[in-house]
Amino acid sequence: MVITNEQIEAEIRELTAEADRMVSEVHEIFAESARLRIQIDHLKKLLELRIQSAQRVELISYILIGFAQKDEPSALCAITWSGSTSLPTDIRILVKREWQRLLPPESARYFADLLNDWKQRVQTEPGVVLAMIGELSVGPIRTMEQGTIHKDGVAQLMNKRLGDNVRYATAILWK
């Protein structure tokens, strides 16, 4: 039996078509695999963000404000909040109950004006207010300390820094 050139060419075309089909299937498998990997990466990132978010809920940020004396500033106020500085929630302003007695009259009036300004502006510009408070470095009222602490330690920290005679300058200011 003799195989003709036409039969060989037909066989080549069939084998080429089969090879091309297989390559196409492999490309589809690789493409699908890549899509699955991307989806896996997105789900891993989502899970990581959720875990971080859950941890952040447990954290409270604070800024401690003090009256600048000759030596170290004396703590008289703290601002606490949940969330980030740019998107804060549950902002609270805590002050020593007898803070007016701790300050000279001029500084007491100045601090009272600051407190009133903070209470009003935190309603519309909470991130701006926190940024400004965090940068008080001249004048009688200054930023003493900034940090983040687990929510269970906030009361103890405020008691340690401000004493047990603390009151809210106002209720929850921003939600």
Distance from C-alpha of 142 to C-alpha of 165, rounded to nearest angstrom? 21
Average pLDDT over residues 24-42: 89
80 beta partners: 62, 92
Residue closest to 108 by CA, chosen among 140, 136, 79, 137: 140
pLDDT tens figures, 73-110:
788 899 999 888 778 888 899 998 888 888 889 989 99
Distance from C-alpha of 34 to C-alpha of 115, rounded to nearest angstrom? 56
Residue ranges per domain, the chain? 1-57, 60-168
Direct distance between the N- and C-terminal alpha carbons of the chain, in angstroms, rounded to an integer: 90
Question: How many CA atoms are closer than 13 Å to the CA of 87, on its beta-carbon side?
Answer: 3
Q: Dig out the tokens for 104 from the structure.
A: 């000279």
In this prediction, residue 173 carries a pLDDT of 45
In this prediction, residue 174 carries a pLDDT of 41
